Amino acid sequence: MKKACSVILTLLILFASVSLCANAADSDALRVLVTSDTHWHDVGSVNPDGFYRPRASLGQMTSLTPLIFDRFLKDAAASDADCVFISGDLTDYGNNDAVAFAQILADFEDTTGKQVFVVPGNHDIHMSSDPNDHLRFRRVYHRFGWDEALAIDEATSSYTADLKGGYRLLALNSNKADGGGLLTDSLLAWIEAQVNAAKADGKKLVAMMHHQLMEHITLEQTIDGFYVLDNYKDVCKQFAKWNIRVTFTGHMHICDIAAYDGKTTIYDVNTYALSCYPLRYRDVTFRDDAITIQSRTIDSLDTANIVPGYSDAQKTMIATDPVGYAYGCQQDSLIEEYVRGFVDADKLTDALGLEADSVGAKALKRILPENILIPLYGEGETVDAMAKALGYDLPESDYETVADLIAAFWAALVRGDENLGGSSPEGKLFLDAAYALFATKAAQESPAVRALLCSKLIARLGLKGVDNIFSRKTLDLILTGLMVDKAPADNDLALPGYSVNTGSFAYRITAFFQKLLDFFRALFTVR
């Protein structure tokens, strides 16, 4: 047995060492700094009503974005990166800040000689009121991709531009009128023409767009299709066929890398929002045999030019621990706006397709209000007291409510490499608390009403072979799908380069061991 374990460990180390490794001596390597969702906005002053305020949704620190982006550009200037990618939502209010932000990018290019490439996000263009607003965006940001463009799709302002090392950028406008994402048939036809042109020129295509190329969370499009392309399944098949190995995306404000195995394996590298926790961006190096990706953190800020209104204590933390401050803003925002806002009987009634005066809707109003804000521990009505009545105790923790726990889950998802399934301390606490809350609050409803709500939720989530969504097994299945990251890793890793045949047997074996290594990494990582 020991000999077998030694062999397995040796193979793991061997494959981890030799698979997907980068050749540092390659002088033609392309290095790119990638950021997204900068949401830059120049405000005159702030009026905080709390230590972790002002902040926008999801803890977005809009009033600090000039400081954050200035630090990012200083890091970029000091690096040996060849260029910078920004995958949409450059500014928070589109037209109002676009000219000023474009000037900042122009000054950076002029002083460093490094090229900036951008694509529009849903905050940059307003296609619902003007389907040709991408032309305005293009006029303002013409220096950052379009002046260098080899080809431009006039219908969307998508473009291609050559990069160092034989690579070519495919920059796509994925926006549609309702804020969601779509690559239309006509745009896909244009992309195919660029694929053929790149093949003829011996170039390797790297893509960038705002919306996600593929799902990053289990049932993502079923639950909320706002972030992923409407036609992502068809687009993934085409990108795999066309050997577009890597696509940089944003929009969801999380760090996650997802893979699709088609004719070749392709990757959607979704990048953090620079305006939010954890204040990271990506440092990517392309070589023939490997694409290495590292996460870089902004760990200090120059507050000399911070807008008036922040207290001395706030300014000290923002300057010395901006990541900690960003975390506080995110948790405050999630609990106050998103957790309270989403756990709403009327919203869930609409989502489940129930009539407002139906027995199911009325049951939701009795079951849901403020339940996730009930204290986990203490005297009186607590979740722990509910659990004790059901015959078990909640695990000890520092969390005060289920809402606090949900906020911690989101923070883990944002950071990437999350591993908070049902076997983790947080996962077990969540499952125990969720079961206690449902078993207690829904116990007064009739079996028929409980069955109705279960069937509606199961259908909404697209779950198959499930009878009771509130069973511990089903809750664990959902939690694992959401909160246990699937290979590849999200932060620091190496992906196969364009010279690697990802369809070969040798690669498949290597990839298997890499996934096995990722599994053990996640299993033993303490968060």
**DSSP symbols for 167-178:** EEEEE---B-TT
For the sheet containing 280-286, what is the strand order? 115-118, 83-86, 30-35, 280-286, 290-297, 493-496
Residue 527: pLDDT above 50? no
pLDDT of residue 164: 96
Once rounded to an integer, what is the mean pLDDT over residues 172-195? 95
pLDDT recorded at residue 335: 74
Q: Does the domain spanning 25-322 belong to CATH 3.40.980.10?
A: no
Residue 207's DSSP bridge partners are 170, 247
Which of the two residues, 23 and 300, has the higher pLDDT score? 300
pLDDT over 90 (residue 111): yes
pLDDT for residue 526 is more than 60: no
Q: For residue 447, what pLDDT band results from cuts at 50, 70 and 90?
A: confident
If you average pLDDT over every residue of the chain, what do you get?
88
pLDDT grade for 471, boundaries at 50, 70 and 90: confident
Instruction: Kindly state the average pLDDT of the residues 413-437.
Output: 93
| The pLDDT of residue 344 | 65
pLDDT at 1 (0 to 100):
45
List, in sequence order, the alpha helices (H) in 149-204: 185-201
- Residue showing tokens 């122009």: 106
The arithmetic mean of pLDDT across residues 477-496, rounded, is 91
Cis peptide bond N-terminal to 54, omega within 30:
yes
Q: Are 516 and 42 in contact (CB under 8 A)?
A: no
User: Domain locations in the chain?
Assistant: 1-20+505-527, 25-322, 343-483
What SS3 class is residue 450?
helix
Asked if residue 308 lies in contact with residue 228, where contact means CB atoms within 8 angstroms, the answer is no
Q: How confident is the model at residue 15 (pLDDT cuts 50, 70, 90)?
A: very low
The pLDDT-based confidence of 383 (bands split at 50, 70, 90) is very high
Q: Is the pLDDT higher at 368 or at 66?
A: 66
| Percentages (nearest 5) of helix, strand, coil residues in the chain | 45, 15, 40
Q: Which helix (H) or strand (E) holds 365?
A: helix 359-367
Average pLDDT, integer, range 220-241: 87
Say yes or no to pLDDT of 16 above 80: no
Question: Over 80: is that where the pLDDT of 215 sits?
Answer: yes
Q: What percent of the chain has pLDDT over 70?
A: 87
Structure confidence at residue 521 (pLDDT): 56
Q: How confident is the model at residue 9 (pLDDT cuts 50, 70, 90)?
A: very low
Q: Give dist(CA 139, CA 127) in Å, integer.
A: 16
Q: What number is the average pLDDT over the span 459-487? A: 84
Mean pLDDT of the 292-297 span: 97
User: Crossing angle, helix 322-333 and helix 312-320, to 10 degrees?
Assistant: 110
pLDDT at residue 10 greater than cutoff 80 = no
pLDDT of residue 223: 65
Alpha helices (H) along 422-504: 425-441, 447-461, 472-483
218: which residues sit within 8 A by CB, 6+ positions away? 478, 481, 482
